[in-house]
Amino acid sequence: MWWGQAPKIMYTFVEHYNLSGKTVIPFCTSASSEIGTSATNLQAADTSQATWLTGRRFSGSSSESDVVSWLDELELQ
């Protein structure tokens, strides 16, 4: 993350990869930047109309159990 934005390569990927029928859950790690509007902007770049869920930023001090707890909360199959 740079100032709340994903790297440009992520936009290129979303613009060119067919995510139709997929569920996208944006997440990132960052020492200081929040997830900001990056997830919203990436979703806007998606022309394949994937299902986008709310993303999350994890700090450098996040543990594996923090990530697992978040994944459990999503109730994915």
Hey, where are the domains in the chain?
8-74
Q: What is the pLDDT of residue 3?
A: 79
Residue 35 has pLDDT above 90, yes or no: no
Q: What pLDDT is stored for residue 41 in this prediction?
A: 92
Q: Which CATH superfamily is domain 8-74 in?
A: Flavodoxin domain (3.40.50.360)
The partner residues of 57 in beta bridges, in order of sequence, read: 28
Q: Would the pTM count as exceeding 0.85? A: no
> For 9-27, what is the mean pLDDT?
94
Query: 36-72 pLDDT, tens per residue?
Result: 889 999 999 999 989 999 889 999 899 999 999 999 9
Q: State how far the Cα of 73 lies from the Cα of 54, in Å rounded to an integer.
A: 12
Count of other CB atoms within 10 angstroms of residue 56: 17
77 has pLDDT over 80:
no
